[in-house]
Amino acid sequence: MDPLTLDVRPYHVRHEEPFDAIMSAVASLADGQDLMLINSFEPTPLFAVMRKRGFASTCTEVGPDEWHVRFTRDP
């Protein structure tokens, strides 16, 4: 199953906090579906929040202002 992709970079451009959008995306995931978050920086504080919700994460810097973070439910 393809991950649900959420690009939060536009939120930062508008000086908005994307946390609610991220949590809404998490709530809408199908069973077994991952969340692919695209961000302009490594969202370190989010890792602990997602870990408490049962998600592991892998983070890759794609470019100077582009990070891809895949959140996968821990089995």
Residue 74: which pLDDT band, with cuts at 50, 70 and 90? confident
Q: How far is CA 68 from CA 2, 22, 63, 71, in A?
A: 15, 14, 10, 10
pTM: 0.92
Ranges of each domain in the chain: 4-73
DSSP, collapsed to helix, strand or coil, labels residue 66 as: strand
- CATH (one of 3.30.110, 3.40.50, 3.30.70, 1.20.58) for 4-73: 3.30.110
Distance CA 30, CA 10 (A): 25
Percent with pLDDT over 90 in the chain: 95
